[in-house]
Structure formats: structure tokens, C-alpha cells
Structure 1
Amino acid sequence: MSSSDRQYDLVVWGATGVAGRLTAEYLTEQYTPDSLSLAIGGRDEDRLRAVESELVDRSDDWEELPIVIGDATDPESLRDLAERTRVVCTTVGPYTTYGTPLVEACIEAGTDYCDLTGEVNWTREIVDEYHDAAVAAGTRIVHSCGFDSVPADLGTLLVQSFAMEEFEVPCRQVRIYVEDTAGGVSGGTLASAAELFEAASKDPDVRKVLGNPYSLAPPGEREGVDPGEQRLPRKDPLRSTWTAPSPMAPVNERVVRRSNALLDYPWGRDFRCTEVIPTGRGLGGAATAGVVAGGLGLFTLAMSIGPTRSALKRFVFPDPGEGPSDEQMEKGHFSVRTRGQGVTEDGPFTVDAVIGADRDPGYGGTARMLGESAMCLVEDDTDSPLDGGVLTPASAIGEPLADRLRAVGFTASASVAEESR
């Protein structure tokens, strides 16, 4: 079946969860039935009907939303889902547990796919098992289309595109600064983190994946000059500020390196990237960096110990499907700055890109990033040279995603850094 014969343009899979519902809500606010054939999917028909009723009641344009019933553990129902739509947009995690059969179904059906995963070990499995099949099928499997890892991946692409346009050479290194975030964390996100720690505690191969900065690069190219994420407080080499490790760095840095590899190394094989949290200048900045690094270290230690991890999941973490309150999401915002440095015959230069929004990064912002990533696939609105494979936002879509995010209120800009003016 060709993609033009499909019943739907797009199915939001997992629409009864927090992220899925918000993504469906965003799409019904931003698009009309005349411009998008949309359906919502999941395994619980009653809950899906409730979501549909809520979304239709809020909308002036949508009188109904078709519902697709299936089960993440039933390959036959997933094949039926994939064959009925041009694109699947899935928020059903942990992906290590529930993601692989849907990827397989999409490749078999020639259906494009995007998700929110930050599970590096699972992404590596999909790369190794399915990249070649996805290339052969001309199917785009696009991981990490939310806060992990659009701001880092797309920000790096904007920095490098601007550097090439203005200076005719790419930046040798980029540093990604999670400057300002406010919002809540869902049970699903924490469940995915727990799944990752559980896998690492049992499987030495998973530990190797998490220990290799190039673990998401293509086979045979999984080594290089970049030492990987920052683990201790450090005075930043590109800014006059102290920085602490970022909890998202193990995901986002590897996604950026995969983008560089998939695009055939336009930024060079000696390209380096690091994601950090800036904490300020002087003694206060140093102290804050130490507190952040220490807190992240304690959390990592607690999650690495089985009984402690189980206790956190049982007594502290919200249940999967639960998320922050509407008030938390309304007050949320984020700003991620990517700074790149390169060298020409005239000397060094520095370029900045900023991606941000007045939205909760994990939900309001992520719903828009995921929704617009899916729409880029639906409308084939990309500048990518790649027709298929296990891809990243920058390598699968590119700058058209930045254009779409600007159009819905995001900041997504690049310029010469203040220090270079």
C-alpha cells in the first residue's frame, strides 16, 4: 500500500497518556480536518473516547476524531495501525519495553515514525537492528523529537549552518547550555529513567553503550576525539561562568554526534559537543555548580542500587501516565543556548543559537516539538538528503523544523555571539 492510499495522515499513539493527549490537543488546535487527517490511538477504547470528547469540545473545527485501537504488545494490531497511516507519532514508553514492535511494524508498512525516547540503550538497539531495513524501505524512524533532543540537535544544526554561511567553515566545538527551565516531570519520564538504570545494572553491553560517547554512531565509527559528557563542576571554556553536568547530556550529546555522522560529517570528524547547566560566576556560581553536580551524582547513585530504585519508583515517583499540573505547565518555560566556536584564517569566531519557548519543556514545549516533527514527515517538509533510516531530528528534518517552531511562538535563532561582535 502506498502512503497516498492510507486512511490517515497521522496517528498519535498513546493519546491517553499526558504527552500523547497534549500532542493531540496541540494538533487539533493548530490544524483543521481539511489540512490533516488525524486519528488518536491506544489500547483502552473508553479512555480514548474520553480524550476524543474533550478535544472535540475544545475545538471549533473538529467534530470528531477517529480512534485506532491496538496494543503495544500485540504485533498484529501494530501492523494494522501502521498500514492505516502515513506517519505514527508515539508517546508510549518506556520504549525499551514497548517501542520495538511498533518500529518493526512501521518499517514493514513503509510508515514514517517519530517518538520522544531518551533511552540511549534502546535507540542503539534500533540503530543496530533496523537502520539498514529502514533505509531499504525508505522509512524514516526519527527518535528523540521532544525536549530530548530537539533543542540540542536543532540548535547545533542552526549554529553550524550559520557558521558555514557567515564564515565558510563549521564550528570545531559546540557547548549546549540549558540556561533556564521551569516545569514538571511525569511518571512516564521517570519510568523510562528507571528502565535505563535497570538495564544497565543487569547487562554489561548496556553499560558499554552508556559509557561510549559515540555509541549512537554507525557501526565501525564508534570512536573519536570527544571524551563525552562533563561530570564535575567546571569553569566554562567559552563563557565566563561556572557550569554543572546536565542530566540530559548522555542522550543529547550522542544524538548530536549521530546527526553529524548521518549527514556525512559536515562538521568534521574532530567535532566535539558538550551539554551543561550554567550556574553563574564567581564563588556563588562555583558553589551552585557543586550542589547541582552533587545532587545529580546522588540521584545517579540511588537509581543504580536496586532496592533504592524500587523504593523511589514505589513511593516517590508518580505513576506512568501522570504528569505535572496544569498550573505547572502554564508557568513552564525553557531556553537552551548552543554556542559554537570555529577558526578561520582571520582568527576564531563564536556563534550562538537559542531555542526556547514560554511552555513547560517536558509537556507544552515537547507536544509542539513532537507535533511539528510529525507534520514535517506528513508534509515531507524537510531539507534532509536522507530518505530513510534510523534518524535524528537534525538529520531527518533539518531547518524546516526550526521554521515551524518559530511560526508557533518558539525562539529559534542563530547569530554571531556577543563576545565576537
Structure 2
Amino acid sequence: LKGEFSGGTVASMMNIAKEAGADPKLRKELANPFSISPAGHRSEARQPSLKGAEYDKTFNVWLAPFVMGAINTRIIHRSNALQNARYGKEFTYDEAMMTGRGMKGRLAAYGITSGLAAFFTASAIKPSRWLVEKFVPQPGEGPSPEAQKAGYYDLRFVGRTEDGKTIITKVTGDQDPGYGSTGKMLGEAGMCLAFDIPAEKEGGFWTPSSLLNGSLMDRLTRNAGLTFEVLETR
């Protein structure tokens, strides 16, 4: 991927670190991958959670923790719950960032892991948090329109079933993942809500896949610069 953080995003991350550092109950909540799933929905399967550099044999690349992985994982589990365990009752999910192959990829993975750990640790402590704030974008600051258009992302998803089947898919976007592309996705989600969802559909805290499903995917492909492709099944 290629993109930039905004000051608002950084401020939110720092506030989470600050609040979690002062509240053991919140730390426990943040560690629970089913924290926004309906009561009673959880998998008995142990959930993976990449916390350090790791080598991935599927793509032969090094991996590092992805800063948005913890948030996305909880949304995915809520999607599964709202669709009556469509992905399976023992479904597991995790995300990571590919850093490349060989020694360069390994060093990048360890560097990102160390950097994230240092950022969240420093953000949780008042003296060091003040210092961090001096060097990060401030709320209201962010990537320019030109930077947003120059951004992109290229994702891989690997799904495996209990009986040994595997599917690998590819998703790409043509602008900065946090802003240029997200803005277009939000617009298409709004169009879906206005024109594609039955008026009698119940309200509530839905997720994109549980409410919008194929309608949103079609709109994203036609209007928002995204691609969805199956690369391999076996």
C-alpha cells in the first residue's frame, strides 16, 4: 500500500493508548476479538493475532503487524455473527502487512514491529506522549489531494476450510487507502443504503458485508476504482 496518516487518525491511536494504559478493564476489552459481536457469539477456536515479525510460507514474504488489523478483525467477527456464522462457528481471522522477501523484508518487519510498540508505549505515558505529539501530524492535517490520488493498495486474502480447501483472492484500490479510496467507498455505501436496501430492513449497527453484501461490491467495482479477483483455488 501507499498512503499517509492524518492527524486525526494519529490522535485517535494515541488516545486509545492513553486510555488503555490507565484502565485495565479497557485493556481486556481491547484484547477481545469479539468485543463488538452480539452477546453469546464467539468461536471456541483460538484466534490468531500477529504481534511480531513472522515469515509467511504462502507468499514467501515477511509479515509485520498491521495497525488497523485489530479494528478490522472485530468488524469481520461481527459480520459473521450477524449472518448466523456464515463463515463458520470456528472461524478465525487475522491481518498483517507484507514487508517483502529476504533480509530486506525481514529487517522491515522487525522495524515496523519495533516502531509500533514504541509508538503505543510512548503514547501511554504522559511525558513521552507530549514528545510524540511534537513530531506527528496534528488533527486537521493529512495527505494532500495529490498524495491521495497517488496512493494505492494491493491486498491478498487467504481462506482455508476445515476439509483442506484453499482460496486466494486479490483486492486492489486506485487511491490512498485511508482517504482517497475510503471517500469513494463511503459514497457508494451511501448509494447502496439509499437505492439497494429494502426499506423494511431493520436498523441497527450493521457491517458492510452483512447489510450491503453484493450490491456494494458491484458499485465499488463500477464506480470506486476497486478490483476483486480470485487468484487461486485448490
**In 2, are the aligned partners of 1:213 and 1:228 still within 8 Å (CA)?**
no
Q: How far 1:409 sits from its partner (Å)?
A: 4.5
Question: For the structure 1 residues 289 and 386, does the alpha-carbon distance in structure 2 shift closer, same or farther, using more than 3 Å as the test?
Answer: farther
2:126 equivalent in structure 1:
306
Percent of aligned pairs with the same residue? 36
1:150-181 Cα shifts (integer Å, max 9, x gaps): xxxxxxxxxxxxxxxxxxxxxxxxxxxxxxx1
The answer to whether structure 1 residue 387 and structure 2 residue 217 are counterparts is: no
- Greater strand share, structure number: 1
The answer to whether structure 1 residue 324 and structure 2 residue 143 are counterparts is: yes
Question: For the structure 1 residues 390 and 237, does the alpha-carbon distance in structure 2 shift closer, same or farther, using more than 3 Å as the test?
Answer: farther
Match of 1:401 among 180, 196, 216: 216
**In 2, are the aligned partners of 1:253 and 1:273 still within 8 Å (CA)?**
yes
Q: How far 1:218 sits from its partner (Å)?
A: 1.1
**In 1, are the aligned partners of 2:148 and 2:175 still within 8 Å (CA)?**
yes
The answer to whether structure 1 residue 353 and structure 2 residue 179 are counterparts is: no
The answer to whether structure 1 residue 362 and structure 2 residue 178 are counterparts is: yes
**In 2, are the aligned partners of 1:215 and 1:222 still within 8 Å (CA)?**
no
Give matches, 1:163-242, under 5 Å. 181-222=1-42, 224-242=44-62
Q: Which amino acid aligns with 2:227?
A: A
Q: TM-score, normalised by structure 2?
A: 0.89
**In 1, are the aligned partners of 2:174 and 2:226 still within 8 Å (CA)?**
no
**In 2, are the aligned partners of 1:233 and 1:293 still within 8 Å (CA)?**
yes
1:240-260 Cα shifts (integer Å, max 9, x gaps): 222111111110111111111
Number of equivalent positions = 233
| Structure 1 SS opposite 2:166 | strand
2:187 equivalent in structure 1:
371
- Structure number with larger C-alpha Rg: 1
1:338 equivalent in structure 2:
157
Match of 2:116 among 273, 276, 296: 296
Match of 1:413 among 225, 228, 232: 228
Q: Which amino acid aligns with 1:243?
A: L
1:16-71 Cα shifts (integer Å, max 9, x gaps): xxxxxxxxxxxxxxxxxxxxxxxxxxxxxxxxxxxxxxxxxxxxxxxxxxxxxxxx
| Structure 2 SS opposite 1:391 | coil
Q: How far 1:406 sits from its partner (Å)?
A: 0.6
| Structure 2 SS opposite 1:286 | helix
**In 2, are the aligned partners of 1:352 and 1:415 still within 8 Å (CA)?**
yes
Q: Which amino acid aligns with 2:145?
A: D
Q: Which amino acid aligns with 1:340?
A: G
1:329-366 Cα shifts (integer Å, max 9, x gaps): 2211112221212254xxx3322232222211111111
**In 2, are the aligned partners of 1:187 and 1:321 still within 8 Å (CA)?**
yes
Q: How far 1:226 sits from its partner (Å)?
A: 3.3
Higher RCO (CA < 8 A, seq sep 6+): 2
Q: How far 1:205 sits from its partner (Å)?
A: 2.3
Q: How far 1:228 sits from its partner (Å)?
A: 4.0
Distance 2:139 2:17 in 1: 16
**In 2, are the aligned partners of 1:369 and 1:405 still within 8 Å (CA)?**
yes
Distance 2:49 2:38 in 1: 20
Flag structure 1 segments of 5+ consecutive residues without an equivalent.
1-180
Q: Which amino acid aligns with 1:216?
A: I
| Structure 2 SS opposite 1:243 | strand
Distance 1:282 1:317 in 2: 31
Q: How far 1:288 sits from its partner (Å)?
A: 2.3
Distance 1:363 1:233 in 2: 27
Distance 2:68 2:201 in 1: 26
| Structure 2 SS opposite 1:303 | helix
